Amino acid sequence: MALASPLLRYRGFVLDIDGVLLRGRTPLPGAAAALAALRQLGPVVLLTNNSTKSRRGAASRLRELGLPVEAEELVPSSYVAARYLREEHGPVRFWYLGEEGIAEEMALAGHGPVPPEEADWLVVGMDRGLTYAKLAQALGALLRGARLLATNRDPTYPTEDGLVPGGGAVVGALEGMGFPPEVVVGKPSPIAFRAALAALGVRPEEALMIGDRLETDIAGAQGVGMDTAFVLTGISTLADVERTGIRPTWVATDLVALVGGEVLRRG
Please report, as ranges, the residues that interact with Mg ion according to CB under 5 A. 16, 18-19, 212, 234
| Residues 204-232 as b or e (16 or more Cβ within 10 Å = b) | bebbbbbbbbbebbbbbbbebebbbbbbb
CB of 188 to Mg ion, least distance (A): 12
Query: What 3-state class would DSSP assign to 97?
Result: strand
Please state the closest distance from residue 168 (CB atom) to Mg ion, in A. Answer: 15
CA distance 153 to 185: 9
- The nearer residue to Mg ion, 15 or 123, going by C-beta atoms, is 15
| Complex with Mg ion: residue 97 or 192, whichever CB lies closer | 192
Instruction: Please report how close the Cβ of residue 16 comes to Mg ion at its closest, in angstroms.
Output: 4
SS3 210: strand
Give 19 or 42: the residue with its C-beta nearer to Mg ion: 19
Single-letter amino acid, residue 150: A
The answer to whether residues 113 and 107 touch, using CB atoms and an 8 Å cutoff, is yes
Residue 120 or 217 having the CB closest to Mg ion: 217
Q: How far is the CB of 234 from Mg ion (least distance, A)?
A: 5
16 is catalytic: yes
- Specify whether 240 is catalytic: no
| Minimum CB distance to Mg ion, residue 187 (Å) | 9
Identify the active-site residue in 18, 120, 217, 227. Answer: 18
Written as one string, the DSSP assignment of 26-76 is: EEPTTHHHHHHHHHTTS-EEEEE---SS-HHHHHHHHHHTT----GGGEEE
Residue type, position 94, single letter: F
Amino acid at 119: A
Burial 48-78 (b: 16+ CB within 10 A, else e): bbbbbbbbbbbbebbeeeebebeeebbbbbb
End-to-end CA distance of the chain: 24
Compute the least distance from the CB of residue 36 to Mg ion, in Å: 20
Pick between residue 195 and residue 209 the one whose CB is nearest to Mg ion.
Answer: 209
Residue nearest to Mg ion (CB): 19
User: Omega before 188 cis (within 30°)?
Assistant: yes
Q: Are 197 and 2 in contact (CB under 8 A)?
A: no
Query: Is the Cβ of residue 18 or residue 99 nearer to Mg ion in the bound state?
Result: 18
Catalytic residues: 16, 18
